[in-house]
């Protein structure tokens, strides 16, 4: 068929030189042919039924496809790309909002065959997600050791602008969330990616020692996280909450700092917890000892006071959050957590105490009261830290 996209001519016998010079050259070159032999990749269209179709038919097929499918059609092999021409990519090259939708749909088509990549809505690119997306260890650090340019990606900046480090926890990254959920849907191993979502950091903070820990689990095709903020205080201090905790429960309930927590019910819990600050008065209380749920986003939290004997006292603030399935950035379950103007009207209603129960597998929650040696050392530093804070 003369007008077919791929034309396969009948094989002709190779032409050989009958001259003495030609035969001599063949003998000289023959030993080197195998050494310099270039492996030719198979033609993508040779095994495809499309190879027998006339060019006009293929062009008509492309006319009935959406822009992203035409681009994917042209992307599958060079002969089709040459036939369809540059026009097959025009709708993706534009900077209009409609073109961005087509481009996102295009990379989503490519993503289906790439289990180690995600289609990033913010960057409009395919990302290979690994530990490079996690910042260097330490509180509030901004460096990315493995791939420095990661910090310039639109998706990473989006996490910073929406205060994901406050809304969820420090070092949480939406691209990693996307990647782990994609691999889960494909039935692939997610253990290494879930490790990237773990967080454990202990450091001095405004006159007290602070330990932040976080763990993520996939439950019922959704990602759940548990975050603990442990504030270690030496014995003998005044019965009051430290002036600055710098930890956020959620966007709606606010921070643990008393001066910023003017939103009920968090303010009510903090006021009540202050009355129970001493060890002797640390009794179960219906106001501040129960698990409390946010009324606008899937977040629950709980306060505990733990006596570490001669080492000191610790306030343990635990929060549980449901984050959704990671398919769409504007999924209400995820979007309701973020600090954005568009998310203010997003509200997710859920049954109280179900998030913590789901994460804990319906078992009664008990805070971590173990004291590793390193934590004992931290308690030992507390008096010195408080002295320095008073000098300042």
Other beta carbons within 10 angstroms of residue 227's beta carbon come to 24
| pLDDT classification of 392: cutoffs 50, 70, 90 | very low
pLDDT of 176 strictly over 50: yes
Say what the pLDDT of residue 376 is: 58
User: Confidence class of residue 174 from pLDDT cuts 50, 70 and 90?
Assistant: very high
Cβ atoms of 248 and 167 closer than 8 Å: yes
Nearest to 115 by CA among 103, 128, 100, 96: 128
Mean pLDDT, the chain, whole residue set:
75
Residue bearing the bigger pLDDT, 143 or 184: 184
Give the start-to-end residue ranges of the domains of the chain.
43-113, 182-391
Q: What is the β-pairing status of strands 299-307 and 313-324?
A: antiparallel
Question: Among 80-89, 213-222, 233-242, 268-277, whose mean pLDDT is lowest?
Answer: 233-242
Distance CA 334, CA 211 (A): 25
Give the residue, 366 or 383, on which the prediction is more confident: 366
Report how far residue 184's alpha carbon sits from residue 87's, in angstroms, rounded to the nearest whole number. Answer: 37
pLDDT for 145? 45
pLDDT of residue 282: 58
Give the 3-state secondary structure of residue 191: helix
Most confident of 37-46, 185-194, 276-285: 185-194
**In this structure, what token pair is assigned to residue 155?**
């998706």
Question: Does 368 score more than 70 pLDDT?
Answer: no
What are the Cα distances from residue 349, in Å, to 180, 296, 333? 25, 6, 9
Note the pLDDT tens digit of each residue in 297-320: 999 988 877 777 777 777 788 999
Higher pLDDT, 92 or 195: 195
């Amino acid at each position: 068929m003369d007008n077919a996209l791929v034309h396969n001519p009948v094989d002709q016998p190779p032409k050989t030189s009958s001259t003495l010079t030609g035969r001599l050259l063949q003998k000289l070159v023959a030993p080197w042919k195998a050494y310099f032999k270039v492996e030719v990749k198979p033609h993508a269209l040779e095994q495809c039924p499309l190879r027998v179709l006339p060019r006009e038919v293929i062009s008509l097929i492309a006319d009935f496809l959406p822009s992203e499918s035409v681009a994917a059609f042209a992307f599958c092999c060079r002969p089709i790309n040459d036939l369809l021409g540059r026009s097959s990519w025009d709708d993706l090259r534009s900077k209009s909002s409609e073109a961005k939708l087509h481009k996102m749909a295009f990379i989503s088509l490519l993503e289906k065959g790439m289990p180690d990549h995600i289609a990033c809505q913010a960057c409009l690119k395919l990302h290979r997600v690994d530990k490079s997306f996690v910042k260097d260890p330490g509180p509030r650090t901004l460096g990315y050791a493995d791939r420095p340019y990661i910090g310039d990606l639109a998706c990473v900046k989006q996490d910073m602008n929406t205060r994901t480090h406050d809304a969820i926890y420090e070092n949480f990254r939406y691209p990693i969330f996307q990647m782990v959920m994609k691999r889960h849907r494909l039935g692939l191993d997610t253990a290494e990616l879930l490790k990237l979502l773990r967080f454990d950091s202990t450091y001095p903070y405004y006159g007290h020692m602070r330990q932040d820990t976080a763990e993520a689990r996939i439950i019922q095709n959704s990602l759940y996280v548990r975050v603990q903020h442990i504030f270690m205080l030496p014995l003998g201090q005044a019965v009051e909450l430290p002036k600055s905790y710098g930890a956020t429960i959620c966007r709606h309930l606010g921070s643990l700092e008393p001066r910023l927590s003017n939103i009920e019910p968090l303010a009510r819990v903090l006021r009540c917890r202050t009355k129970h600050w001493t060890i002797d008065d640390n009794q179960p209380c219906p106001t501040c000892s129960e698990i409390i749920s946010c009324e606008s986003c899937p977040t629950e939290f709980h306060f505990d006071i733990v006596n570490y004997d001669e080492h000191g006292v610790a306030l343990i603030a635990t929060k549980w959050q449901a984050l959704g399935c990671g398919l769409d950035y504007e999924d209400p379950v995820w979007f309701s957590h973020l600090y954005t103007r568009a998310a203010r009207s997003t509200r997710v209603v859920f049954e109280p105490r179900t998030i913590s129960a789901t994460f804990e597998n319906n078992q009664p929650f008990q805070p971590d009261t173990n004291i590793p040696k390193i934590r004992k050392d931290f308690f030992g530093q507390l008096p010195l830290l408080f002295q320095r804070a008073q000098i300042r």
